[in-house]
Amino acid sequence: MDRRVIRHGVTDSTSERAFAALAEGSASHGDVHLATAQTRGRGRLGREWSSPEGGDLYASLVLLPPPPGYDPVGLTMAVGLGVLRGLERAGGEELMLKWPNDVVDAAGAKLAGVLVESRGLQPDAPHYVAGFGVNITRTEFPAELTAERPVTSLRLLGITADTEGVLEEILGELEAALTQLIANPSALCSTFVRRAGLFNGPLEVQRGKELCRGRLLELDLEIGLTLETAEGAALTIPLEHVSALRQV
């Protein structure tokens, strides 16, 4: 993957800059849009991603694979794994994934978030923007953020790292995870299951308004998530119908 890092300084959102470049036709596969701060950083489920200046990482990677493109859930998992492994290479220990792709520490505090988006269905020219934000140097967070869930940073975990170094590690691991997504998706799924701690205990899976419970039997990109229910039956849920998943 040829890498071009486009530095924006303070901008609205690196993912928005990536989509603007796609819209004007100047984007290439592997472009990375990087900011020192974002005024309209966005997270999953329409949330804001708090993005002050001061050394945290805000980046969006443009992906323009050949048709048919990536499996959407597989891509989300691959980007999460890439960020997780990159943060381990930067010194993070005992990190885990939390469905679908938050990176959390051993205590469950959020260290990084991933947002994979695409706009408009173009089967002959698929495009994706994989945005990721990593708390590197921050030691204080807005109260509304910490009220929702515990949050941490590399610095709070005792790791001294700089934005560019962490970005390099993440991009290397992201590339490897994307290669594995194409070459060996079942291996990627197995790694994901292990790194998200899904094999251990019973799971609660939100499918629309329905809450399903069971032990994970299999996670397959085409088949979905297969659970063994308390009654011993196998229940398969397509991955695109899984809105939340947690261990109980």
Contact set with ligand BTN (CB under 6 A): 13-15, 38, 41-44, 47, 49, 58-60, 102, 113-115, 131-133
Smallest distance from ligand BTN to CB 34, Å: 9
Residue of minimal CB distance from ligand BTN? 113
The kind and range of the H/E element at 117 are strand 110-117
DSSP classification of residue 151: B
Q: Rounded to whole angstroms, how far apart are CA atoms 103 and 173?
A: 14
Residues recorded for the chain? 248
Smallest distance from ligand BTN to CB 17, Å: 9
Q: Rounded to whole angstroms, how far apart are CA atoms 133 and 48?
A: 12
- Give the CA angle between residues 205, 82, 135 to the nearest 5°: 85
Q: Which is nearer to ligand BTN, 49 or 99 (CB)?
A: 49
Smallest distance from ligand BTN to CB 113, Å: 2
CB atoms within 10 A of CB 3: 15
Q: Which is nearer to ligand BTN, 15 or 152 (CB)?
A: 15
Q: Rounded to whole angstroms, how far apart are CA atoms 186 and 199?
A: 15
Smallest distance from ligand BTN to CB 226, Å: 27
Q: Which is nearer to ligand BTN, 167 or 188 (CB)?
A: 167
Q: Which is nearer to ligand BTN, 115 or 221 (CB)?
A: 115
